[in-house]
Amino acid sequence: MITLDDVIAARLRIKDKVRHTPMMPASQMRNGLAPLDVTLKVESLQVTGSFKARGAMNKVLTLPPEQIAKGLVTASGGNHGLAMARTGFVAGVKTTIFLPSSVVPDKVAKLHGWNANVQIVGSVFDEANEAALAFARETGAAYVHPFSDPLVVAGQGTVGLEILDDMPDVDTVLIAIGGGGLITGMATAMKAKKPGIRIIGIEPVGSPTLKASMDAGHVVTLDAVTTRVATMACRRTDDFLFAQVRNKIDAMVLVSDAEMEEAAKSLWFEFGLATDLSGAAALAALRCGGVTFRPGEKICALVCGAGTDGV
């Protein structure tokens, strides 16, 4: 289990290696969200374009030099891979990223820009991850899991601390879910500091990994993943994450790929924010009306990843 203290320690560890990203009122929109009072947490402006930079850096900064001497390796839908590639670049070690075939091309191009060794294996994250683990065994490279490592989760939780710093009156936070590391870290930190805060999780209709597990009362493996959103496509969450977060999520919303695409286009049109589909998931959930809000409720929608899906 991770605690608020773990997230605070992560914040101190990475504070000079990542950005404190801005908050932006979601106002003056042509197709607005009125009467909702929504503020965007623009984590798409983080280094490498997503919150993943936080967890990757927090983990690697705890590893001794001899452990990473043979390089770093991970599997990713794209954003964690970019974070690890940049972290390896900063650390001066070779980084290998295994990706499913559903990864968007612009993320692959960025990975090459960080001098990463890119390997495309399988059609979903789970298959790419098996290849990454095999690579780690064969080469001795240090493997970093994208969402179930406690230090990675603690790093992602620092997003929640920033939101509370900048928006202490926030009532509800909407968070996209892939494997579950982001929402686990954020919910752990935010519920500890503000127990009454409401945490809303968002998953694709074609990959309801955490919702299916919460409905069943235990971790389940999806029979199939049909979403094309690689950064939110995962057949199974982690038992550690599920145990930590299952009682901290107040509601779940499922959104379609098309709804996320329309939300990404809106973020570009209205704010000039270039996001991937996961980055637009919170706005998609607000637009589809999947959550009921009280009058005057202060809402924060996390824009968690950059990309060109709405451009």
Q: What is the domain count for the chain?
A: 2
Nearest CA to 226 among 112, 95, 123, 79? 123
Q: Which pLDDT score, from 0 to 100, does residue 31 have?
A: 78
**Each residue's pLDDT tens digit, 104-115:** 899 999 999 999
Res. 16 pLDDT band, cuts 50 70 90: very high
One domain, residues 114 and 187: no
Stretch 223-233: mean pLDDT: 93
Mean pLDDT, the chain, rounded, equals 96
Q: Does a structural domain hold residue 236?
A: yes
Q: Which of 143, 160, 193 is the last residue of a domain?
A: 143
Stretch 270-277: mean pLDDT: 97
- For residues 182 and 31, the model is more confident at 182
Q: Among 27-41, 53-67, 195-209, which stretch is predicted with the lowest mean pLDDT?
A: 27-41
Res. 117 pLDDT band, cuts 50 70 90: very high
Q: Does a structural domain hold residue 176?
A: yes
Q: Is the pLDDT of residue 253 over 90?
A: yes
Q: Which of 119, 143, 167 is the last residue of a domain?
A: 143
- For residues 265 and 33, the model is more confident at 265
Query: CATH code at 65?
Result: 3.40.50.1100
One domain, residues 126 and 243: no
Stretch 4-8: mean pLDDT: 98
8 A C-beta contact, residue 245 and residue 209: no
**Each residue's pLDDT tens digit, 285-307:** 999 988 899 999 999 999 999 99
One domain, residues 30 and 161: yes
Q: Which pLDDT score, from 0 to 100, does residue 212 have?
A: 98
Q: Which pLDDT score, from 0 to 100, does residue 125 have?
A: 87
Q: Residue 159's domain spans which residues?
A: 4-51+150-303
Q: Which pLDDT score, from 0 to 100, does residue 62 have?
A: 96
Q: Classify residue 121 by burial, with Cβ atoms within 10 Å: 0-12, 13-18, 19+.
A: middle
One domain, residues 89 and 197: no
Q: Is the pLDDT of residue 100 over 90?
A: yes
Res. 34 pLDDT band, cuts 50 70 90: confident
Q: Is the pLDDT of residue 124 over 90?
A: no
**Each residue's pLDDT tens digit, 238-248:** 999 999 999 99
Q: Does a structural domain hold residue 248?
A: yes
Res. 32 pLDDT band, cuts 50 70 90: confident
CA 311 – CA 309 distance, rounded (Å): 6
Q: Which of 125, 143, 161 is the last residue of a domain?
A: 143
CA 226 – CA 249 distance, rounded (Å): 24
Q: Which pLDDT score, from 0 to 100, does residue 268 have?
A: 97
Nearest CA to 76 among 221, 226, 181, 223? 181
Res. 196 pLDDT band, cuts 50 70 90: very high
Helices (H), the chain: 4-14, 52-60, 65-68, 79-91, 105-113, 125-139, 150-166, 181-193, 209-216, 239-245, 257-271, 281-288
Q: Which pLDDT score, from 0 to 100, does residue 303 have?
A: 98
Helix/strand number for the chain, H first, E second: 12, 10
Q: Which pLDDT score, from 0 to 100, does residue 227 have?
A: 96
8 A C-beta contact, residue 275 and residue 303: yes
One domain, residues 124 and 220: no
